[in-house]
Structure 1
């Protein structure tokens, strides 16, 4: 008889998990309405009719709670990407859907997106010196979401669709930067996509898809087979 199977959750464990999830859900509601400045342990306690001390049993500080919201955003993003990138679709359709989903998720949940990228100074070395930790980054949901882009570029190269001379990490960083730039514009200038003179009105979804298509085109293998993915000054 096996004796090393994991023990079942006790009623107390399940109750603790439910309370923790209710706190996170309430924090998302407050953040969505009031942003990071409106979120506090006391404000959260009022939202769910708990005492601040009860919440502190689950989260030691507001920063700890914000960190949980960040992870929740990227977990949601990963689930959406997985749903929009079904393996039975042609690769280029999946690649464009991946990029578009990044932008759409941010625009649809702007406060959660802001939480996911808030307080970045806490992640940087003191006085801005030294590199960020790659090993630490890739273990987070944010790092896993970025890893999806790296895998997408690598798959495109293996399928002989993307430029083989591109560095997958650099290409993924460029895709991410472009997508977050568009997300910021659409969040802070909601009618940005309509700034097209003398043309039919364009929806935000149309512009996001245009952006995704253009970014993916930039990765395609050149028609003459030559690579163009090296940075200026790099040796051939």
Structure 2
């Protein structure tokens, strides 16, 4: 009989997690084929042969489901980068791996990645909604994953590897933006890494490693950046 301190989920909890996972997986499939406009509680009920009322027990509205779908991607990403950041490995290896993992996670489930960033396109920056409060952002999986990047920059600075003049938050945003850009390219243009006027095709994994190294070296102290270099042939 499990106690209150047991780490093992109860049968009821396992069933709840299984059903929740099935709903999120179905939402990803519908999003992939029909976009956000085609995603509805009734459409999901058809997809997984559940009643709409059963789905409403887990998600109170379509908006709540989409928010959960977005968070689920970052929950997966957080678990991976957290393992990397806590690993017993040299800082340079962990730092590059954090960058690579973001892109690799997007590649594994591109439609879920696309859903994670779905939302209205802002065309008038003067009338956009107020920015999310930092305290609220930190509580999300996305915010927690971002904070790992911030701590990575700070660790690099404390080790005298990264430029101490860099703002950790701006640096983490820049790393995120660069990785997001490559993830978008690869998920929308799978052969982008092989595009070249003369060189032989480059595997995606090699190009991602090159990108991660370039990002890492961009944060280094100038003297260190000149000493380290990774080519596509390494």
Smaller-chain TM-score bracket: 0.7 to 0.9
| Contact 2:153–2:172 (Cα < 8 Å) also in 1 | yes
Helix, strand or coil at the partner of 1:163: coil
State whether structure 2 residue 81 is matched by structure 1 residue 81: yes
Tell me the CA shift for residue 139 of structure 1. Answer: 0.9
1:119-130 alignment, distance < 5 Å: 119=119, 127-128=127-128, 130=130
The count of residues paired between Structure 1 and Structure 2 equals 220
Q: Structure 1's 13 and 92: CA in aligned 2 closer, same or farther, altered over 3 A?
A: closer
220 and 38 in structure 1: CA distance in 2 versus 1, 3 angstrom threshold: same
Work out whether 1:115 is the aligned partner of 2:118: no
Distance 2:196 2:72 in 1: 35
State the TM-score, normalizing by the size of structure 1.
0.81
State the secondary structure of the residue aligned to 2:59: coil
- 1:34–1:80 Cα change, 3 Å: farther
Give the gaps of 5 or more residues in structure 2.
225-234
- The match for 2:164 is 164
Distance 1:129 1:46 in 2: 34
Which residue is equivalent to 2:204?
Answer: 204
Matched position secondary structure for 1:215: helix
* In the alignment, structure 1 residue 179 sits paired with structure 2 residue 179: yes
Render the CA deviation track for 1:164-203: whole Å, top value 9, x for unaligned. Answer: 0100000000000111011111122221111222112101
Counterpart check, 1:134 vs 2:134: yes
Corresponding residue SS for 1:178: helix
Q: Report the TM-score when normalising by structure 2.
A: 0.82
Per-residue CA deviations over 1:133-177 (Å, capped at 9, x if unaligned) read: 111111110101111100100000011100001000000000001
CA root-mean-square deviation: 3.0
Whether the aligned pair in 1 keeps the contact of 2:85 and 2:148 (CA below 8 Å) is no
Deviation at 1:35, TM superposition (A): 4.0
Structure 2: distance between partners of 1:68 and 1:36: 13
Structure 1: runs of 5+ lacking an equivalent: 225-236
Q: What corresponds to 1:39 in structure 2?
A: 39
> Which residue pairs with 1:62 in the alignment?
62
1:5-50 deviation digits (Å, cap 9, x = unpaired) = 6799887666545433432333234334544344221221112211
Q: Deviations over 1:58-91 (max 9, x none)?
A: 2121111111111111110112223444532111
CA contact (8 A) 1:138 1:144 kept: yes
**Which residue of 2 is the match for residue 232 of structure 1?**
none
Q: Which moved more, 1:104-113 or 1:49-58?
A: 49-58
Helix, strand or coil at the partner of 2:222: coil
Query: Are residues 1:192 and 2:192 paired?
Result: yes
- 8 Å CA contact retained: 1:175, 1:215: yes
Which secondary structure does the structure 2 equivalent of 1:127 belong to? coil
Greater radius of gyration (CA) = 1
